[in-house]
Amino acid sequence: MNLTVIGTGYVGLVTGTCLADMGNNVTCVDIDEDKVKAMKNGKIPIYEPNLEELFNKNIVGDRLHFTTNLKEAIQNSSVIFLALPTPQDEDGSADLSYVKGVAHDLGKMIKGYKVIINKSTVPVGTSDIVKDIISSHTNVAFDVVSNPEFLREGYAVKDFMEPERIIIGSKSKKAKSILSKLYKPFISTKRPIIFMDERSSELTKYASNCFLATKITFMNEVANLCEIIGSDVDMVRIGMGSDSRIGNRFLYPGIGYGGSCFPKDVNALVKSSDEANYDFKILKSVLDVNVQQKKSLVPKVSRYFNNNLKGKKVAIWGLAFKPNTDDVREAPAIDVINELLLQDVEITAYDPEAMPNIERIYGDKIKFGKNAYDILEDADCLLICTEWSEFTQPSFDKIKKLLKNPIIFDGRNMFDLEAMKHNGFHYESVGRKIVK
């Protein structure tokens, strides 16, 4: 099939590349000229494991093309994916201006039947809005389908290739048949396509992300309580997770959830609920708790240094909002850095992929290292904000030699308490005893 993907971010580029790998002829459109130029030269604009290899393979195979020209891109394709940003607006709602803007463009351009498949995360009713906008420009037949994306950054290629389920919101037989054919290589009995109406499909995406954000936040509160009453959150987590009704995933406490999805999606569902005169109390608490949790690491550091961090030098491991991505949108590391800078702390930092994105925000306010050890020399302590696997088994001897004091504040519970005691560290983590 000839396909068009509009928007080549984490979702669009992965969608385009994976569909090209199944033999489709895919044209990816983006308004960012530099991005398109780079991709035309075979340069991938984001870090996502296994994507580069697939990207190169399909460019060489002449199945993956890039352009800034929307009209040209949709000319020979009757299947159009929207993978456009839906960032948080000032009032917390999802900003639909990108989606609406492209809907106007498509309405003016389409000449024959198209199925327009929305992969962006959008509030309930957006399919109808897109339909109305396109219809206001043309009488040509078309369908708008809600097909929310569930891939995780860091596992995006695997998640797209082996989705746990594909959700399709549409009442159109023709659209459903086109999508069934397109997604056939990705599904199996264990990985079904679930058909539903557009409004249910749109809510499924928000309800899923909000539930996961709630699960994380619940465990963060359990961890906070553990710190006060002397329980060990690791034990509690293992005990809880062995109940199949609860499951053992998403029970790891830390310094709050971040990223380009959970924060904005929780806000957007709260806003949509308010607009529908429904007071979604749990989600409002999730928002409040997460703001606090992202601020929970620095007070521990401050307390250790007698509430005076001025002039201290702090090393940070991990800047991305989670491992295996260069994405720093709403990353807890940003809250940590902001608070440390406010208290006149000198910061050195290392992240395997996210340093360029953090440098774009802070310029020379932070010094970066070439590796994890580079940044430790003469630092008063080490803070861990992202649980990259390369931090899992570091040389504690080397860390001790380089740091001014053997002190680690770990926002991701990476190390075993006994081992830290044995290694002679002052070690504070989340929801566990302090090792002194």
9/411 with CB nearer ligand NAD: 9
Q: Any contact of residue 328 with ligand NAD (CB under 6 A)?
A: no
Q: Which residue has the tokens 């960012």?
A: 32
34/364 with CB nearer ligand NAD: 34
Query: Is 150 within any annotated ligand binding site?
Result: yes
Query: Is 86 within any annotated ligand binding site?
Result: yes
Q: Any contact of residue 84 with ligand NAD (CB under 6 A)?
A: yes
Query: Is 329 within any annotated ligand binding site?
Result: yes
List 18, 210, 226, 261, catalytic entry: 261
116/151 with CB nearer ligand NAD: 151
261 assigned to active site:
yes
Residue environment code for 76-107, b if the CB has 16+ CB neighbours within 10 A, otherwise e = ebbbbbbbbbbebeeebbbbbebbeebbebbb
Contacts of 8 (CB under 8 A, 6+ apart): 16, 28, 29, 30, 32, 35, 36, 39, 45, 66, 83
CB distance 397 to 382 below 8 Å:
no
Q: How far are the Cα atoms of 217, 218, 363, 415, 431 from residue 428, in angstroms, in the given order?
A: 20, 20, 29, 10, 9
CA distance 415 to 327: 24
Task: Sketch the per residue contact string, 215 through 254, with ligand NAD: x for CB under 6 A, - otherwise.
Answer: ----------------------------------------
Task: Sketch the per residue contact string, 17 through 46, with ligand NAD: x for CB under 6 A, - otherwise.
Answer: ------------xxxx--x-----------
Residues from 250 through 279 that contact ligand NAD (CB under 6 A) = 260-261
Q: Any contact of residue 178 with ligand NAD (CB under 6 A)?
A: no
- The CB-of-337 to ligand NAD minimum distance in angstroms stands at 22
Q: What is the torsional sign of CA 173, 179, 185, 190?
A: negative
Query: Is 432 within any annotated ligand binding site?
Result: no
Residues from 357 through 416 that contact ligand NAD (CB under 6 A) = none
Q: Any contact of residue 155 with ligand NAD (CB under 6 A)?
A: no
Contacts of 229 (CB under 8 A, 6+ apart): none
Q: How far are the Cα atoms of 85, 259, 322, 354 from residue 96, in angstroms, in the given order?
A: 8, 19, 26, 28
31/193 with CB nearer ligand NAD: 31
Binding site for ligand NAD (CB under 6 A): 6-12, 29-32, 35, 83-86, 98, 101-102, 119-121, 149, 151, 153, 260-261
Active site residues: 261
